[in-house]
Amino acid sequence: MTQAEPHSAGLVAAHSPLVVVITGASSGIGHATALAFAERGARLVLAARDADTLEPVAEACRSAGAASALVVPTDVTDAEAVGKLAQAAITQHRHIDVWINGVGVGAVGLFDETPLAAHRRVVESNLIGHMNGAHAALRHFRQRGRGTLINLISIGGWVPAPYAAAYTASKFGLRGLSEALRAEVSDLPKVHVCDVAPTFVDSPGLLHGANYTGSNIRPRIPMVDPRRVARCVVALVNRPRALTWVGAAAAPGRLAHAIAPQWVGATMHRTMRWALGRANPAARTDGNLFEASKGTQIDGGQRQANQKAAGTVVALGVLGVAAALWLGRRSPRRLPHGE
């Protein structure tokens, strides 16, 4: 286990099971996290837009050992609905111990070829939705004097992704939100704001997401098992920490970007453009931006196929850092216009 991944030996001892609210619980990391808490006997409050996709997850959680699993259909972009989600949890269990903001959507395409409505929806879901959840959770935690808020960010909050401008904007914004909230609760020793930042996760996110490229998107890169991310989330209950990285590509990617951000961005753009040019054609689609997806899968089905790429990507990451260092030393200072 790496230093970035806290141990997960049991939950905090309590007289009653933990009460855990999870948004985005219907598939991917959210589904995996619900099962991970269920195996530890938690009382779960599961939220996503569609009740039909939540019910099978709730049933699986009960079978896995959850003390209970309450389904509350919720669109996190609706602040009033998120407030009702918090109230439903409190009414049912009298309090909330852990709130997990797990909703994440994306739209892949060149910025000016992607509808503005799609960009807006990505930001509303990934940033405003997390703000709505944090607002409801922290009001309760402040009154109670304890509680843990966990935000799912991603490496996209540190390294921008061409063809995913709105996603990048939402994740950079979420990173700032979490840092500000940690400062605001710094005088409350039992209230924690934690971030989990995985690299590329083998979840159904790409399959469910919007695609405006006209090409089939199947990245040939190593991917993290969603269950690994879920274990890191659960571990934060016992050992809260500001930021937990998940995935080997995080460190070289962040370092290369810190040294030569323009070179990293241009390289990512060229790589993405090359891959899309070789991909099979695909219809343009809004994906799950405006309508809830119906699948409840945890996996995206690409992890095994991409396993052989792991060594290559690590090697490229090291080369990228070396190239960034070299460019950083050689690049002359460019004066702005007018000097």
Q: Which domains does the chain have, with CATH numbers?
A: 19-330 (3.40.50.720)
Which segments within the chain are labelled E, that is strand?
19-23, 43-47, 68-71, 98-101, 107-108, 147-152, 191-198, 210-211, 243-246
Residue 6, pLDDT score: 52
Confidence of residue 276 (pLDDT cuts 50, 70, 90): confident
Residue 329 has pLDDT above 80, yes or no: no
Segment among 62-71, 160-169, 255-264 with least mean pLDDT: 255-264
| CA–CA dist 157, 149 (Å, integer) | 18
Residue 314 has pLDDT above 50, yes or no: no
Q: What is the DSSP letter of 239?
A: S
Q: Is 50 helix (H, G, I), strand (E, B) or coil?
A: coil
Residue 80 has pLDDT above 50, yes or no: yes
**Average pLDDT, integer, range 153-158:** 94
Residue 302, pLDDT score: 80
Residue 321 has pLDDT above 60, yes or no: no
Q: DSSP letters along 61-125, please?
A: HHHHT-SEEEE----TT-HHHHHHHHHHHHHHHS--SEEEE-----EES-GGGS-HHHHHHHHII
pLDDT, one tens digit per residue, over 212-244 is 999 998 877 889 999 999 999 999 999 999 999
Nearest to 202 by CA among 54, 86, 304, 116: 304
Confidence of residue 310 (pLDDT cuts 50, 70, 90): very low
| CA–CA dist 55, 59 (Å, integer) | 6
Residue 311, pLDDT score: 47
Residue 222, pLDDT score: 82
- Rounded to the nearest integer, the mean pLDDT of the chain is 88
**Average pLDDT, integer, range 68-79:** 98
Confidence of residue 85 (pLDDT cuts 50, 70, 90): very high
Q: How far is CA 45 from CA 59, 193, 236, 248, in A?
A: 12, 19, 18, 32
Residue 206, pLDDT score: 82
- Write the CB contacts of 299 (distance below 8 Å, at least 6 apart in sequence): 202, 203, 204, 225, 226
Q: Are 38 and 69 in contact (CB under 8 A)?
A: yes
pLDDT, one tens digit per residue, over 175-200 is 999 999 999 999 999 999 999 999 99
Confidence of residue 53 (pLDDT cuts 50, 70, 90): very high
What's the chain's length in residues? Answer: 339
| CA–CA dist 278, 273 (Å, integer) | 9
Q: How far is CA 273 from CA 85, 165, 214, 215, in A?
A: 41, 15, 12, 10
Choosing from 167, 200, 212, 245, which is the catalytic residue? 167
Residue 317 has pLDDT above 50, yes or no: no
Residue 70, pLDDT score: 98
Comparing 8 with 278, which gets the higher pLDDT?
Answer: 278
Q: How far is CA 230 from CA 64, 129, 146, 221, 277, in A?
A: 15, 20, 22, 21, 34
pLDDT, one tens digit per residue, over 90-101 is 999 999 999 999
Residue 240, pLDDT score: 98
Share of the chain above pLDDT 90, in %: 71
| CA–CA dist 154, 195 (Å, integer) | 9
163 has catalytic annotation: no
Comparing 323 with 144, which gets the higher pLDDT?
Answer: 144
**Please, is 303 exposed, middle or buried when counting C-beta atoms within 10 Å of its C-beta (0-12, 13-18, 19+)?**
middle
Residue 47 has pLDDT above 60, yes or no: yes
pLDDT, one tens digit per residue, over 100-155 is 999 999 999 999 999 999 999 999 999 999 999 999 999 999 999 999 999 999 99
